[in-house]
Structure 1
Amino acid sequence: MLRRVAVLVVLVLLTETAPLEISLVYPAVPSLSVEFGAAAADIVVAAVSLSAAMSIPLTGRLADRLGIKRVMLACSGTFAAGSLLCALANGLPMLVTGRILQGAVGGLLSLSYALVRRVFPPPQVPLVLGVAATGIGVSGVAAPFLGGHLTDAYGFRSVFWFLLILVLVMLPCAALVLPGERPLPVVPAPRAGRSASRARQRLDVPGALLLGIALGAALTGVGRSSSAGWTAGEVPVSLAAAILLGVVFVRRERRLARSGVEPAVDLGLLTSPGMRTTLPLAVLGSAVVAAVGFLLPQMVQGEQHIGALASALWTFPLGVSALVGGPLGGIVARRHSPRRAALLATALLTASAFGLAVLPHDRAQLGVLMAVFGLGLGLQYPALSNLVTEAVPLTQAATGTALLAACSQLGAGAGVALLGGLRDTSGPATPATFSLAYLACAACSALAFTTAALMRHGRTPATGGTGAPAPRQDLASPARHAPSPTTKETPA
């Protein structure tokens, strides 16, 4: 029991680096704009989402094949290298390169969800997933104050020094506490003349990279559209490239599946009823959360003429209520259903975004709106993770949660570019332009609510994955059956 508590504590602390790399930088956006220009600041913010969207599919696949702990430690090390580059950056290219390396940590939250499923008994999984999401709330409380103080006192580079120190402290703790687990591969049917063991050894790395590049191209096209317009040369080229690469990826995966080679992503998993409704919900919800998080510090600093640290006092109720929302989401999913948790989350996000658009921004009123928004944010993470857990077999747990993370990153990047970018559509940022952006966020969240309301998946209490579909058995020999989806690995 104590070992499981220690594992959960380390997971919460380690996965905080994913939201912190974004939320700590938001208070520094005005400083980045002064040094590099507004367009460059947007690139610095979006680079993490772009990098994460490209790397997460491969991260999840490697975790299912090589072990979650190994991949988590490798991602953390890459993040540390990126943080060092950002802290030492003497120009925009070096800063953006560092942010791209930092994007490797984008999959940590999804990998922690998969590890929870393998370590904890199924009845505890829905609640533990809610507790694991409290890292989002902790970062929501701490990041505005910490990012604001560091930016005001020492400049934006101090934010990256802090991230570097944080991950260097957490790495040895994770190496000691997290259990090493055996991967649970689903073995594809071998092609004629090829042994099953040889087929099992092949991992379709090019396919995973192809999917990541397609996601990156889509995110680039959508991101550039807000500043350059939809008809600018690079926007249609990027979107066309994303579509073309997506078609090539699907054709490749189908061909590999027929030949007996394990594909990068099981297309049957990607198009299963649970995943094909959960992933769009993740895109829409993440777009709203990222856009509002991007807009709030700039709005408060501009309207109140205050610094980054002082603006944190206006927005900290968001993080406090997110701390409550995470465990509450796990309880709702376990006692009622993950879908109900998603409905509550999207309803609260819609109401708060609409309130930001139409209500005056005095301190008390903004505090209430932030509390409502934070509660919706906290509910959203366990709702989505439990929806995926109910849709994906244990053997593909990391792949399923990685797909969720990739869609969340895609939604976050699109939200900052499209919804947050509406702030600049009518010239300099004014209360009217912020209201327009918040109205767009409310409309997007309302669409997410409709998606959850129509969802047929996740209408029963969460089971911790025992109700997930079993992996397909394509093998000719009964002796080669894959492990049961309810098989749990004993922590080392």
Structure 2
Amino acid sequence: MESQVVSMSRGRIVTVLAFIILLSEIATFEILMVLPALPHMAPAFQTLNIAWVVSIVTLAGGTMMPLVGKASDKWGKKRVILSLAVFFIAGSVLCAVATSFAMLMAGRILQGSLMGIVTISYGLIRDIIPRDVVPIALGAAVTGIGMSAIASPFIAGWLIDHTGYQGIFWFMAAYVAVLIPFYALIVPESPVRVDRPLDYLGVVLLGPGIGIMLVGITRGARAGWTDALTLAALIGGAAMLVGFVVWQRFAPSPLIDLNVLFGRRFGPTVLAVACIAYMMSAHSLLIPTMLQTPSGLPGISYGSGLSAMQFAIWTCPLGIASMFAGPLGGIISKRIGARYVLVTAALLFLVVMFMGSRLFTIQWQVAVMSSIMGFAVGFLHSSNANLIQDALPASQGGIGNAISGMGSLLAGGIATTLTGVVMSRHVLAVNPQTHAVLYADTAITRGYLYAAIVGVVGLAVALIMRHGRTPAQGGLRQDTAPDAIGGVEPVSLAPTTP
């Protein structure tokens, strides 16, 4: 049984898609606006643990993702997205008025709901947009990443300068609050419902398992990989994930069909995308160091001495290019297959890894590198969205997208941590007053080299896998997936209302 969609005119499709994109943009806003505010927040809360302001969002989002994904399959994707948006507003307000670091952390945990908004949005597009338009619509969703990537640094800079770090949280709260009523009125609800009991043990094993693994990875970079708590987190998290897989074989209502999870479509896609996205995360850590380090320092060949605003200007071609690459990737996916778009993304990332390793720090060189990176990012996200939707039956759409998003979170956490470890082994000097670190050239070059090696693994998986070699179809055409373990999962179609 196919998932039914509302008949839409072209204008209605554009309007609906625009509001889905606008709300999903909050993820990019959150990342790119909070990062430049960290130096202002650390003295305000008198803490040396300011990095947790970023890490806690990933941990919270990863932990709640399975529950959010399954809830969207059971009660409706639009309903869950709007609920998550309310949690995000509450978290933003709490951060803005926080008078202690613990209060700030509580607000950031609530803001972790934004990750569910993004992942479920892909499934919502698949459920409500006419099937022949879905591949291009999924590619167009990447446009939001490009737009917010361009605007965020400038908005953040102005708000921090004029209102303090609190301004960025008030801005995010107001942005989402304004969008909610329009989203509720204009975007239709998904008609797909899966009327099965929630696998609570599966949720407890999967979400916290990923979260504990991320804690171990984050702690390992700081306290060492032989630290007792680091090992406990890594081993405990891995054990919970293994336990999840074993439990899914016997659970009366499994969280996800293991034939889907480890099938020839979904599994290879998640692995390939995770390895290729590793390069994106590594570059995001390396490029600010390379360009914001003062130029002309003895012992290094890189450094442009850019301020945060100058860095935003030099690298803005990334956002512009990704705005065009997203829809283009969707068009190519629809015509020849999303796998080819993913392979192209991997090759472009490898070009960026090479350029970065050459320590290019002249503006035109950075502009070229950022433009190539933008096309790589756009192609990666558009191909991933199409490959994942075409790998999932409608009954597994919410939880499948959640697990795919968790894979990306884990890959990003590993990439950032391991790249940081590589850099820490090539420190040239440390300022005793400011504790600012000056890295040797090899910190940058080897960071890019190791990221490229991981990316080559992703490219190899993409080249070998059979999935995505035919034109994208806007979702797996069957609404029940064979399940040798627990039968088939029934899908009901709820009335589609705005």
TM-score by length of 1: 0.88
After TM superposition, list the pairs within 5 Å mapping 1:271-420 onto structure 2.
271-303=262-294, 304-420=304-420
| Aligned AA (1:283) | A
Q: How does 1:189-228 map to 2 (within 5 A)?
A: 200=196, 202-228=197-223
What amino acid is aligned across from residue 465 of structure 1 in structure 2? G
Partners of 2:447 and 2:473 in 1: how far apart? 38
Q: AA paired with 1:245? A: M
| 1:229 positional shift | 1.6
Letter in 1 for 2:210: L
Q: Corresponding residue for 1:191?
A: none
- The answer to whether the Cα contact below 8 Å between 2:82 and 2:184 also exists between their aligned partners in 1 is yes
Q: Which moved more, 1:390-399 or 1:28-37?
A: 28-37
> What's the Cα RMSD here?
2.6
Give 1:404 shift.
1.1
Distance 2:451 2:489 in 1: 47
Shift of 1:481: 8.4
Q: What is the one-letter code of the residue matched to 2:230? A: V
Distance 1:361 1:384 in 2: 31
Aligned-partner SS, 1:41: coil
Distance 2:154 2:51 in 1: 21
2:490 alignment partner, one of 473, 482, 490: 482
Match of 1:160 among 169, 176, 180: 169
Partner letter of residue 181 of structure 2?
P
Identical columns (%): 33
Distance 1:118 1:271 in 2: 23
**Corresponding residue to 1:465 among 472, 475, 482:** 475
Deviation sequence 1:95-120 (CA, Å, 0-9, x none): 22222211111022221111111112
Work out whether residues 118 and 488 of structure 1, in 8 Å CA contact, stay in contact via their aligned partners in 2: no
* Equivalent residue number for residue 245 of structure 2: 250
Indicate the residue corresponding to 1:195 in structure 2: none
Question: 2: distance between equivalents of 1:431 and 1:128?
Answer: 44
Higher mean C-alpha deviation, range 394-403 or range 129-138: 394-403
Query: In the TM superposition, what is the alpha-carbon distance from 1:306 to its structure 2 partner?
Result: 4.1
Distance 2:477 2:371 in 1: 34
1:228 partner letter: A
TM-aligned CA deviation for residue 180 of structure 1: 2.4
Counterpart residue number, 1:28: 37
> Residues 259 and 483 of structure 2 are in contact (CA less than 8 Å); yes or no, is this contact kept in structure 1?
no
The AA in structure 1 aligned to 2:198 is L
Distance 2:109 2:192 in 1: 28
Task: Tell me the distance in 2 between the aligned counterparts of 1:275 and 1:475.
Answer: 18
Q: Which residue in 2 is equivalent to 1:435?
A: 445
Please, which runs of 5 or more residues in structure 2 have no aligned partner?
1-8, 295-303, 428-436
CA distance in 2, matches of 1:371, 1:111: 28
Equivalences, count: 470
Superposition deviation, residue 375 in structure 1: 0.9
- Which shifted more, 457-466 or 146-155? 146-155
What CA distance in whole angstroms lies between the structure 1 residues aligned with 2:57 and 2:394? 29
Corresponding residue for residue 16 of structure 1: 25
Say which SS state the counterpart of residue 25 (structure 1) adopts.
helix
Alignment partner, residue 450 of structure 1: 460
Contact 1:350 1:443 in 2 (8 A): no
1:149 aligns with 158
User: Cα deviation per residue 1:111-164 (whole Å; 9 max; x = unaligned)?
Assistant: 111111111222111111001121111121112222233334433332222111
SS at match of 1:231: coil
Q: 2:254 aligns with which of 245, 248, 263?
A: 263
C-alpha displacement of 1:490: 4.6
Are the equivalent residues in 1 in contact too, given 2:191–2:494 (CA < 8 A)? no
Q: What's the TM-score once normalised by structure 2's chain length?
A: 0.87
Residues 413 and 367 of structure 1: CA distance in aligned 2, closer, same or farther (over 3 Å): same
Task: Name whichever of 467-476 and 429-438 sits farther off.
Answer: 467-476
Distance 1:39 1:440 in 2: 29
More helix by percentage? 1
Give the conservation status (yes or no) of the 8 Å contact 2:333–2:341. Answer: yes
In structure 2, distance between residues paired with 1:110 and 1:222? 23
Q: Whole-Å Cα distance in 2 between the matches of residues 18 and 175 of structure 1?
A: 19
Report how far residue 384 of structure 1 moved: 0.6
Q: CA deviation at 1:483?
A: 4.6
Closer, same or farther: CA 14–461 of 1 in aligned 2, 3 Å? same
Q: What code does the residue aligned with 1:410 have?
A: L
Conservation of the 8 A alpha-carbon contact between 2:256 and 2:400:
no
Is the 2:127–2:191 Cα contact (8 Å) retained in structure 1? no
> Counterparts of 1:325 and 1:31 in 2: how far apart (Å)?
35
1: distance between equivalents of 2:71 and 2:316?
A: 37
Assess, with a 3 A threshold, how the Cα gap between structure 1 residues 79 and 8 changes in structure 2: closer, same or farther.
Answer: same
Deviation at 1:442, TM superposition (A): 2.6
Change (3 A) 1:238 1:481: closer
State the alpha-carbon separation in 1 of the partners of residues 46 and 183 from structure 2.
38
